[in-house]
Structure 1
């Protein structure tokens, strides 16, 4: 008796029995043998529902992660003799086709995720539909009292709970799934959204059968007044509804700053009330423990790196004539090209409580060789919110300095990949120009290298395509790219294994003229202007260059990306016959959705040429403007 009183003394108000890690599975059926057999079958038994539905959901998610983790391991550590086999090339080409191929719905201005991502989404849809709607019945028969939890509500609730650890893990920049699979966190965001949507739909399927059941019994008001499960479930569902609706792309993009500031609060409310709602039934709290372990470990790793390893930095802001804001940050942080960091400005007028992602537009160099720290450089296109405030500060106080914290870097293209390519195609649009500059810098720095550190056979090819509607942006880009090409020490010194470089700048908003192209061919030491245009429309009159590269400016002409890739792969195939070995092509793109869509599809179609053996591989790395 005393022990029983002590146990009750330590209960908390929202729990109706002593706190335990799991509730009891003891069960004694008082129905007829036939009814008990019906009630206790695998797909209907309440006391094993967590094992049947929640664990199977976990197994599905872990199996998908394991497939990509094994693939990542093979890509990095498989011997070259395996990578040269036909079955490896077939598997690689097929998987890349699935990863690159996308679709467009012009009516809704919608660009779909890749075919592979859609396929994974369909796997989830089939699984959850089968597990939710496959087993029968949805409600208990009325010939006996089988329980107060409708079977369809039970299974939907457990599957929703099982998704919680994956939803939280996928929401973080530094997450274990990225570490295992090699997939950058920004490319996992689509799965964070989709698992959240699945969890919300399952929560609705879990909720409404209870309402229907108790309205049918006539005790809905009584349940609301006496059952803690009901009033804890409502705040959890309302906060989850807010998170789901606000995360829809059209709404999130329009109210991004507000959503970013409020979504963590809403998520905390959801998790707390969801925890109370589960009331340690069966193994429900195991999933909260797993969620907390994954989330807090990843969060701690990111904060340790941000606050202890990176520390406080000083950023210098500069407004450029093109309208871009240049942010320069001296640092000892190391990064690879194309990576991005999350920047938190330590000032109340620049959203102190939120961090914002910016793509790095510079190359990390050895401070011992350079004699100074490397500079993180960002070129930011002012829009709304913090970027508009940055532009205002840079305009009012040129060269002003702000204290910042840096989280990251994340994503990017590894040196392992860049060293392998015989041909590199860099494609950028608008403010994605900063991404392309970093890629060009790194490609030139790695000239003549392979993954083993040896020179490649013959000269390599570097093609840069930049598209913009803004004339001043085009002027800025021409100056930046020309400066990099003309001052590249690798381009000067390595004529045997250097890059044959061509740059095409497309200005898409200018009216059509009789002549549509400016060409500067500095490799032969000459310049010729083939377009007779008005003085104010000309690019800078003199471009001093060294080495071998060509610069072309096209007016009122969008780049033909599919045609470019098709021609490049065709030329590579012919060169392979002459050189005696197949060439590798790397495509690196950053720009608006339409540009990414065209490039992804062109790279997907090029996989057929890789499969036939015309080229060794066609690799694509893409960076969207927003994710």
Structure 2
């Protein structure tokens, strides 16, 4: 029937619509053939799946790019192969990757800002889906002519992202294998992919509501169309996942967040199956998501079983009022420098597992079939670590627990061995990560220059590591140690006046130096009995890193573990060094690589 043909209003007894006639609202209701013909002239319903393919091409293209980058990096670090144009190309790439914004407590409420590189990838993804969603301004069909094109475009863009959301959130996953990036570094991409998925899902939902209102209303649509009901059921856990993962909730209620996140993710997957089962390509995306996710879970469970044929025994010792030393002998687990494991204690909040950095690496004389000691230093803050601290203190400062170990994950690997000079920077208990990196260089390095900068609150902490640091100095004659004490206990034998206005700059040697302490504490005491001299105040990392870059011949690696502000300083200082390489400011320096690790994700 032509749209210009005179029409006589007609509707059925139930108030519904009769195809080929005008309904009670005065709107023509097309027949199935007319609806199909109209869509064929404009945007066919079944062809909308192409937008999902576009998203897959984009995401798989990025994955392939990082696979090639990982292969080049392995060749560079393991075989020290000279690659043409490598130095300048890598400097340019890192110039676009390393920079970080200063820590801002208000911005951090909305997003966990890290290096620029991952955020550029997420911005590219956001622009990609937005362009394919909004540039084509044919958003809606006339009433009763089918699902809105806007509704369908956003649906398939979201569905193509779904497998990546679940895989990026898994501890063991295929993306980590292909790219060499550990799960904790992928978390920002997991959150960004989840944001895009939620964004497209909301566009999809709102477009469906507008279409329903243009026809018989949302209430009528939910009463007569199960797709609307299942869609709202699926949207509910998705919004809980999204809001609950925002930094204020995730960081303040991590233990609750962890379980809610898992339960809501499973609930959402089930609701999504109900919503899109047997609808064009929906099954393929959902099945791929479940298969890849279950493969990761199975891989993780199998490794946990192989690494824990019996529960490990962990001895927790109270070193002081701020630190617990945890030692776990193991015959089954192999690890590399800078890695962490998740530990579940059988008698202390057994439903939770928490990540801890390993402070040691296996020595050359420790064979793979011998018992090796994993050592951890835990700083009780709140939540689980505070509970563990109180339990150890209640048991006279020493307790043995049965624990289940999941891991290891992450780490610096053996990459730092390939560099001519290594600068290791640690803040507070970040020394646990740094120690394993230093031990690996001492045991297996090529004799490169190694320097460590450690910022710690109190000189008491130095006694924990004096023996280990002395051992490292004996094994690495070129090993240099600089220690900065940012606060001090009032009991000490020497008093040093400080000026609170500046950080400790290398040029300030011999002058009064700043200190991270309240203004009322204008004199600090330092125990001078320690074997390693210390400087009061925070280290001025930009100048220290620039000095290291200026004096390095060949390649330099900066390895940093500490609080967010320290990571920002290191990232931006190393970024500045990339500019120096491109401009030829450092004629003897051909590469600066940054390896960083934060306290949490």
TM-score grouping bracket, smaller chain normalisation: 0.7 to 0.9
Corresponding residue number in structure 2 for 1:465: 453
State how 1:153-192 maps to structure 2 within 5 Å.
153-192=151-190
CA 1:316–1:222: 2 relative to 1, 3 Å: same
Corresponding residue number in structure 2 for 1:31: 34
Give yes or no for contact 1:361–1:436 (8 Å, CA) kept in 2. yes
CA 1:570–1:586: 2 relative to 1, 3 Å: same
Take 2:83 and 2:436, find their aligned partners in 1: how far apart are those partners? 34
Please report how far the alpha carbon of residue 32 of structure 1 lies from its aligned counterpart in structure 2 after TM superposition. Answer: 9.3
Corresponding residue number in structure 1 for 2:541: 561
Q: Deviations over 1:480-512 (max 9, x none)?
A: 342123234xx5467xxx424222223247899
Take 1:210 and 1:493, find their aligned partners in 2: how far apart are those partners? 68
Pick aligned residue for 2:480 from 489, 496, 501: 501
Pick aligned residue for 2:468 from 471, 484, 488: 484
Please report how far the alpha carbon of residue 78 of structure 1 lies from its aligned counterpart in structure 2 after TM superposition. Answer: 6.0
Please report how far the alpha carbon of residue 322 of structure 1 lies from its aligned counterpart in structure 2 after TM superposition. Answer: 4.8
Secondary structure in 1 matching 2:496: coil
Corresponding residue number in structure 1 for 2:336: 336
Corresponding residue number in structure 1 for 2:14: none
Q: Deviations over 1:37-65 (max 9, x none)?
A: 433xxxx2211212x11111111111111
The two structures have a TM-score, normalised by structure 2, of 0.84
Please report how far the alpha carbon of residue 361 of structure 1 lies from its aligned counterpart in structure 2 after TM superposition. Answer: 0.9
Secondary structure in 1 matching 2:435: helix
Take 1:252 and 1:621, find their aligned partners in 2: how far apart are those partners? 25
Give yes or no for contact 1:444–1:499 (8 Å, CA) kept in 2. no
Give yes or no for contact 1:165–1:288 (8 Å, CA) kept in 2. yes
Structure 1 segments unaligned to the other structure (5+ residues): 1-27, 450-455, 517-529, 544-550, 577-582
Corresponding residue number in structure 1 for 2:304: 306
Give yes or no for contact 2:94–2:575 (8 Å, CA) kept in 1. yes
State how 1:237-316 maps to structure 2 within 5 Å.
237-311=235-309, 312-316=311-315
Take 2:599 and 2:77, find their aligned partners in 1: how far apart are those partners? 36
Corresponding residue number in structure 2 for 1:121: 122
Pick aligned residue for 1:475 from 447, 455, 460: 460
Corresponding residue number in structure 1 for 2:594: 620
1:514 to 2:497 alignment: yes
Secondary structure in 2 matching 1:400: strand
Q: Deviations over 1:346-367 (max 9, x none)?
A: 23x32x2232111111112356
Q: Deviations over 1:392-430 (max 9, x none)?
A: 111111321111111111111122x22222322111112
Give yes or no for contact 2:442–2:475 (8 Å, CA) kept in 1. no
RMSD between aligned alpha carbons? 2.8
Pick aligned residue for 1:570 from 550, 559, 563: 550
Give yes or no for contact 2:427–2:562 (8 Å, CA) kept in 1. yes
Please report how far the alpha carbon of residue 567 of structure 1 lies from its aligned counterpart in structure 2 after TM superposition. Answer: 0.8
Please report how far the alpha carbon of residue 82 of structure 1 lies from its aligned counterpart in structure 2 after TM superposition. Answer: 9.6
Take 1:536 and 1:133, find their aligned partners in 2: how far apart are those partners? 61
CA 1:237–1:34: 2 relative to 1, 3 Å: closer
CA 1:536–1:56: 2 relative to 1, 3 Å: closer
Give yes or no for contact 1:367–1:373 (8 Å, CA) kept in 2. no
Take 1:513 and 1:153, find their aligned partners in 2: how far apart are those partners? 68
CA 1:45–1:320: 2 relative to 1, 3 Å: same
Please report how far the alpha carbon of residue 67 of structure 1 lies from its aligned counterpart in structure 2 after TM superposition. Answer: 0.3
Give yes or no for contact 2:323–2:380 (8 Å, CA) kept in 1. yes
Corresponding residue number in structure 2 for 1:354: 352
1:552 to 2:533 alignment: yes
Give yes or no for contact 1:441–1:484 (8 Å, CA) kept in 2. no
CA 1:218–1:316: 2 relative to 1, 3 Å: same
Give yes or no for contact 1:82–1:88 (8 Å, CA) kept in 2. no
CA 1:96–1:535: 2 relative to 1, 3 Å: closer
State how 1:14-53 maps to structure 2 within 5 Å.
30-31=33-34, 35-39=38-42, 44-50=43-49, 52-53=50-51
Q: Deviations over 1:522-576 (max 9, x none)?
A: xxxxxxxx99x99993326263xxxxxxx33122x2111000011111112xxx4
Secondary structure in 1 matching 2:581: helix
CA 1:422–1:482: 2 relative to 1, 3 Å: farther
Please report how far the alpha carbon of residue 307 of structure 1 lies from its aligned counterpart in structure 2 after TM superposition. Answer: 1.5
Please report how far the alpha carbon of residue 131 of structure 1 lies from its aligned counterpart in structure 2 after TM superposition. Answer: 0.8
Corresponding residue number in structure 2 for 1:99: 97
1:77 to 2:75 alignment: yes
Pick aligned residue for 1:605 from 567, 576, 580: 576
Corresponding residue number in structure 1 for 2:424: 426
Please report how far the alpha carbon of residue 515 of structure 1 lies from its aligned counterpart in structure 2 after TM superposition. Answer: 7.3
CA 1:542–1:272: 2 relative to 1, 3 Å: closer
Give yes or no for contact 1:104–1:112 (8 Å, CA) kept in 2. no
Take 1:32 and 1:264, find their aligned partners in 2: how far apart are those partners? 42
CA 1:342–1:80: 2 relative to 1, 3 Å: closer
Take 2:257 and 2:37, find their aligned partners in 1: how far apart are those partners? 53
Corresponding residue number in structure 1 for 2:373: 375
Take 1:321 and 1:625, find their aligned partners in 2: how far apart are those partners? 20
Corresponding residue number in structure 2 for 1:521: none
CA 1:540–1:36: 2 relative to 1, 3 Å: closer
CA 1:584–1:508: 2 relative to 1, 3 Å: farther
Q: Deviations over 1:255-307 (max 9, x none)?
A: 11111121111111111001100021012101111111111111111111112
CA 1:391–1:49: 2 relative to 1, 3 Å: same
Q: Deviations over 1:581-624 (max 9, x none)?
A: xx221111111111000000101111133343431311111001
Take 1:153 and 1:65, find their aligned partners in 2: how far apart are those partners? 28
Please report how far the alpha carbon of residue 113 of structure 1 lies from its aligned counterpart in structure 2 after TM superposition. Answer: 2.2
